[in-house]
Structure 1
Amino acid sequence: MRCLLTGFPGFIGTRLVRALLVDDDVVVDALVEPRMVDRARAVAREFGDRVRVIEGDITEPRLGLDEALYVDLADTVARVYHLAAVYDLAVAEAIATRVNVEGTRHVLDFCRGCARLERLHYVSTCYVGGERTGVVLESELDEGQGFKNHYEATKFAAEVLVRDSMPQVPTTIYRPGIVVGDSRTGRTQRFDGPYFILWFIHRMNQFGLTVGTMGSEEATFNAVPVDFVVDAIAACSRDPETVGATLQLADPDPLTTAEFVRVLSRALTGKDPRGPAVTDSLLRPLLSLTPVRRYVGGTPFESLVFLHHPVRYDTTEAGRHLARSGLTCPPFHQYAPVMVDFFRRHLGDEELRAPV
């Protein structure tokens, strides 16, 4: 079975290729933008001739491919996995629109022309819910919500396109929460997202200080380990009952953001946060300074809002389908020590630092 995959050699994409190749009949064509081709080819050597790296560009019509190759792929591809996106919370609107929205539009155009298409597997995000509070259902999308950043807004717009195409393109939509490292090894590709909290705790600890209380007892932090996300997508690829489903790959019982910070602080320093609250009004002006932002691992002030956003992502449909494969999202406290240990051991690895 021939698959076309975007988002290689990214954090999730590379792991997903490995999981898909467990099936002996699967071969993967990885569509890779020009600047990533050399790295992609180096990573693809692990998979031998079962992974072909194709230079292309989802932001271009017909995926930036020459006509003969585009037609050949359209005639032979049975599954499409669309993972490529800009995930930066501070991304400019024009860039986010070009990659997340127009890129998805071009992938959908390709899918409509595929002679043998079995299914599109589209990776969205829970955060298409934007500024909504309370419980967000898997069946819901456009509820008139606003958005905290251009990343959320453009992923929402892209999912609208995907949903509108579902009568012509059989699709499964996956909405992961905030993806962190492997729950068994802690390995991650970059110290961003919740790792910014670890950086802040680490820097305070270097001065012999304990971080003050952070987060909220009302808001939740929905972290999910990358191995759960990959295993879920791979399992659903083999399950015809998931066609047409939207699955929120989220923690069904997330910690409050305050407890999330406490768990990280205990794992890293052996101490609970205590002392004056670390507020947005304190952090925002500090994080506007590039040297400060670099010192705390590249933390963008755009990430602060997630510590105070009271929202839960319902996982009823995901839980029902994944139960057939014996998959459940592990609770954060279970793998937090592994995640923190990897962070501690790789603090000096510049490749893992978020860009500033």
Structure 2
Amino acid sequence: MRCLLTGFPGFIGTRLVRALLADADVVLDVLVEPRMVQRARAAAADLGDRVRLLEGDITEPRLGLDEDTYRDLATTVVRVYHLAAVYDLAVPESIAARVNIAGTRNVLDLCRGSAHLERLHYVSTCYVGGERTGVVLESELDEGQGFKNHYEATKFAAEVLVRDSMGEVPATIHRPGIVVGDSRTGQTQRFDGPYFILWFIHRMNRFGLTVGSMGSGAATFNAVPVDFVVDAIVACSYDPLTVGATLHLADPDPLTTAEFVRVLSRELTGKDPRGPAIPDALMRAALGLGPVRRYLGGTPYESLVFLRHPVRYDTTEATRHLGRNGLACPPFARYAPVMVDFFRRNLGNEELRAPVTIRRARSR
């Protein structure tokens, strides 16, 4: 069975390739953008001859492939896994639109022209809900919401394209929450997202301080381990009942952001947060300074809003479908110790640190 995957050698994509190869009948064509080819070759070095790296670009017509290669894909591919996207919360609109929207449109064009396509697995995000508050259902998409950044807005627009194409392209839409390291080993590819909180706790603790009352009792932090996301996508690949489904790959019972920070603080320092929170305006101003942002592990000011955003992602459909396949999202408190231990042991690993890019803050 020939499959096409985009987003290799990314964090989820690399693990998904290995998981899919557990099926001896699977042969994978992996689309890799030119600047990532060397890294992709290293990641694929031990994967054997059932993986073929294709140098291409989802933002280009016909995926930047030569005509013979593109035609070969269109006549042989059975499944497509589209993971490639820009995930940077501070990404400029033009780049986000080109990769997330135009890239998805080009993948859909291939899917429409594929003679034997059985399914597109499209990896979206819970955060297509944008600025919505309260409970967001898996069946919902366009509710007239605004968006906190261009990442959310363009992933929303891309999911609209996938949904509008379902009459021609059978698809399953996977919406992960905030993906963190492996729930069993803690291994991750980069210390970003919730790891910014760990950096802040670590730096404050060096001065004998705690993080104060970060987070909110009304907002939730929807962390989800990468192994659960990969296992869910693989399970859905073999489950015909998930064709046409949209699944929130998220914690059905997430901690509040205040509880989330408290768990991380206890695991890393043995202390509960205490004292007043640092005002958001002061944090935003400080994170606009390169040295401060670098000291705090590359934390972008755009991430602060998630600590106070009161939204909950319903997982009724995901729980039903994945439960039938023996899967359930583990609670954060269960794997927080290994996540923090991996962070502690790899503080000096520069390859895991998030890049520091300073952009002028947009007013909200």
> C-alpha displacement at 1:278, in angstroms?
2.3
Query: 2:17, 2:240 → 1: CA distance?
Result: 19
- Residue in structure 2 matched with residue 303 of structure 1 by the alignment: 303
1:135/1:311 contact within 8 Å kept:
yes
CA distance in 1, matches of 2:267, 2:233: 30
Q: Which residue of 1 is the match for residue 192 of structure 2?
A: 192
Q: Distance in 2 between matches of 1:183 and 1:282?
A: 34
2:290 matches 1:270: no
- How do residues 51-200 of structure 1 correspond to structure 2 at under 5 angstroms? 51-200=51-200
**In the alignment, is the contact (CA less than 8 A) between 1:86 and 1:151 conserved in 2?**
yes
- Mapped to 1, the partners of 2:113 and 2:37 lie a distance apart of 25
Residue identity in the other structure for 1:204: M
- The alpha-carbon deviation at position 277 of structure 1 amounts to 1.4
User: Are the aligned partners of 1:263 and 1:336 in contact in 2 as well (CA < 8 Å)?
Assistant: yes
**C-alpha distance in 2 between matches for 1:350 and 1:37:** 21
1:275 to partner: Cα distance: 1.1
Please name the residue that 1:36 is paired with.
36
Deviates more, 1:305-314 or 1:270-279: 270-279
With structure 1 as the length reference, what TM-score do the two structures score?
0.99
**Match of residue 254 from structure 2:** 254
2: CA distance, partners of 1:98 / 1:2:
27
**Aligned AA (1:92):** P
Residues of 1 paired with 2:112 and 2:41: CA distance?
28
1:8-47 superposed Cα distances (whole Å, 9 cap, x missing partner): 0110001001111111100100000000011111111121
How far apart, CA to CA, are the structure 1 residues paired with 2:310 and 2:204? Answer: 27
For 1:210-250, what per-residue CA distance to the aligned partner results, in whole angstroms no more than 9, with x for missing partners?
Answer: 22110000000000000000000000001111000000001
Moved more, 164-173 or 40-49: 40-49
Letter in 1 for 2:3: C
Partner amino acid for 1:344? R
Cα offset for 1:166?
0.3
Alignment of 1:310-349 (within 5 A): 310-349=310-349
Of 209-218 and 150-159, deviating more is 209-218
Q: Which residue of 1 aligns with 2:242?
A: 242
Secondary structure at the aligned position of 1:49 is classed as coil
What amino acid sits opposite 1:224 in the alignment?
V
Instruction: State the secondary structure of the residue aligned to 2:45.
Output: helix
SS of 1:312 mapped into structure 2: strand
Q: Which amino acid aligns with 1:131?
A: E
Deviation at 1:341, TM superposition (A): 0.3
Consecutive aligned runs of 4 or more in structure 1 exceeding 2 Å deviation: none
Q: Distance in 1 between matches of 2:179 and 2:269?
A: 23
For the 8 Å contact 1:13–1:83, the answer to whether it is kept is yes
Partner-residue secondary structure (3-state), 2:241: helix
- Structure 1 residue 281: Cα displacement: 1.9
Amino acid at match of 1:256: T
- Consecutive unaligned residues of structure 2, counting only runs of 5 or more, are 357-364
Aligned position for 2:224: 224
Q: TM-score, normalised by structure 2?
A: 0.97
The whole-number CA distance in structure 1 between the counterparts of 2:210 and 2:7 is 39
Note if contact 1:6-1:84 (Cα within 8 Å) is conserved in structure 2. yes
Aligned residues of 1:214 and 1:279 also touching (Cα < 8 A): no
Q: Distance in 2 between matches of 1:135 and 1:253?
A: 12
Deviation (angstroms), 1:90: 0.1
Matched AA of 1:105: R
Deviates more, 1:85-94 or 1:46-55: 46-55
Aligned with 1:282: secondary structure?
helix
- Paired with 2:125 and 2:208, the residues of 1 have a C-alpha distance of 38
The amino acid of 2:321's aligned partner reads H
Number of residue pairs aligned between Structure 1 and Structure 2: 356
Question: For residues 42 and 347 of structure 1, what CA distance do their matches in structure 2 show?
Answer: 24
Name the Cα RMSD after superposition.
0.5
Matched, 1:281 2:288: no
> How far 1:86 sits from its partner (Å)?
0.1
